[in-house]
Structure 1
Amino acid sequence: MITLERQSLLSREISAAESRPSWLHALQVVAKEFGYAHATLMRVPHPGDNLLVSVIVESTVSIRFIREFDQRLLLPHCPVLTRIAGTMMPQCWSLDYDNSANPYPEAMDTLMREFGIINGVVVPINSLSGDRHLLRFDGDCPTPGQALLNEIGMIALHAFDVYDRMRRAEMIAPRTLTKRELEVIRWTSQGKTSAEIGQILSLSDHTINAYMNNAIHKLDCVNRTQLVAKSIRLKLIN
């Protein structure tokens, strides 16, 4: 497909998103179009941020990867975050072609390979409020050339603009979560499965999943990963 035609089609799909889940779906379409498996919007970590789940805004990466990443406290040791600290240009990264003085820790390399996250593109973006974010596409595909990298960068900027306008338009606070829904989210953030949470709270798996689905709907999320990340961002759980 011709570059301008593809960029126009993908940008229209992003612009048509009416909610965060539909926006994330459109972003996943973009990721797959360029050969990547996952799309993630995250804020740039502040000093003292140790957990990936606390900086993720939206992501299609599995919650199991995020949980295992955070169990190893790998976020402060991520070399990609160090490399993009002083630039606003899209950056490619790869586990296989890393000759920098700040290599990937062995535990991080092993975990990312296990989940098929071998390389990707990171696009630094500033919001109108001045907050710095990263929009990234990760997976295992050939490293893009400069023309393709520029195209990804332009689409990422448009995607963030759509997301930021959507976020700023959200004037109504999220519907209140019940005490039990918050309990379920809190246990989920600690890596517990529905079965394990059911045992802890003396409830069935079906009931736990019902609480989870209610909370996902109330906070306009698409999956458990987003639910946990958004609950932390809104300070609903620690």
Structure 2
Amino acid sequence: MIDFTADMSSLVLPDGRSIRGPLGSEDDIKRVLNQVSEAYGFRGFMVLAIPDTGCHSLAAQALLTTWASEFLRRYDSAGLIDGSPVIQRLRRSTIPFTYDAHQLARRRLDGKGEAAISVFEHANMPRGVYLPVHDAAGHRAAIAFGGDRPVVSNDELQALNLLAGLVYSRLTEVRPRDRRGPGSLSRREIECLRWAAAGKTTIEMARIMALSEYTVNHYLNRATRKLDSVNRVQTVAKAMRAGLIN
């Protein structure tokens, strides 16, 4: 097995630190990506499976992320993925690139430019980078960093691209292989997801279902694990795509 930790520990981040510790789990990888994000002045990261043309949800494609669930909800509610210049570019190119929400808005052909600006500005992520990556089987993804820092330099972009490739290669090794299918969801888990999709809060769901808030959260968290999701928004999106809720 390749020692990815050794490969990355020789790379010094802008804050003077180097990457330390094991990379034996998704939590380790999330820690490293957080460290990289903070060192470069971003607000967060997202590991994104490149969506095909039939996918209409960004949340459903997020493999690992610290981008706020509210951002993902607003993005998907506005239907921004279909006409996204970023998604279109990721589908056809493997070259890393920077993004600026204001510039990208002018390139949208669906009239949703202002909506896109609003979503990214609301999350304080108007600028960032997308770094295309792939695994040994050729499956494509991207690691994105977003924030409100100035545009990254070419040297920063190349350094981030190298880090992204190393981290993603390790992620594909440690990511759980025993993902359970949607058929394993219980009746209560599906019921909670239906109410979540309807916009109900945990408190409201607890009242409707005559359960405690703790129990509702337990069902939702269990559904999130079963669907191999990173947050409630992605869980709802996956359940909808699987036809479990509508």
Q: Shift in Å at residue 171 of structure 1?
A: 4.2
The one of 2, 5, 12 equivalent to 1:5 is 12
Q: CA offsets per residue over residues 30-77 of structure 1, 9 Å max, x none?
A: 111111111101111111211112222221112222112111111112
**Are positions 1:79 and 2:88 aligned together?**
no
Q: Which amino acid aligns with 2:18?
A: L
> Match for 1:63: what amino acid?
S
Quote the Cα distance in structure 2 between the aligned partners of 1:195 and 1:157.
42
Counterpart Cα distance in 2 of 1:165 and 1:179: 33
Amino acid at match of 1:196: E
1:174-223 deviation line (CA, Å, top 9, x unaligned): 49543312332343345432123223323232321232344456667664
- What are the residue-to-residue correspondences of 1:107-186 with 2, within 5 Å? 107-167=115-175, 170-174=176-180, 176-186=184-194
Alpha-carbon offset, residue 105 of structure 1: 1.1
Measured on the aligned residues, the alpha-carbon RMSD in Å equals 3.1
* Pairs within 5 Å for 1:1-238: 4-6=11-13, 9-10=18-19, 12-13=20-21, 16-97=22-103, 101-102=107-108, 105-167=113-175, 170-174=176-180, 176-216=184-224, 223-225=231-233, 227-228=235-236, 235=242, 237=244
CA distance in 1, matches of 2:232, 2:104: 32
Q: Do the aligned partners of 2:105 and 2:114 also contact (CA within 8 Å) in 1?
A: no
Where relative contact order (Cα < 8 A, 6+ residues apart) is larger, the structure is 1
Q: What TM-score results when the alignment is normalised by the length of structure 1?
A: 0.81
In structure 2, how many angstroms separate the alpha carbons of the residues matched to 1:105 and 1:97? 9
Contact 1:42 1:57 in 2 (8 A): yes
Q: Which secondary structure does the structure 1 equivalent of 2:18 belong to?
A: helix
Specify the SS of the correspondent of 2:118.
helix
Counterparts of 2:28 and 2:229, CA distance in 1: 10
What secondary structure is seen at the aligned counterpart in 1 of 2:79?
A: coil
Work out the percentage of aligned pairs sharing the same amino acid: 27
Q: Report the residue type matching 1:9 in the other structure.
A: S
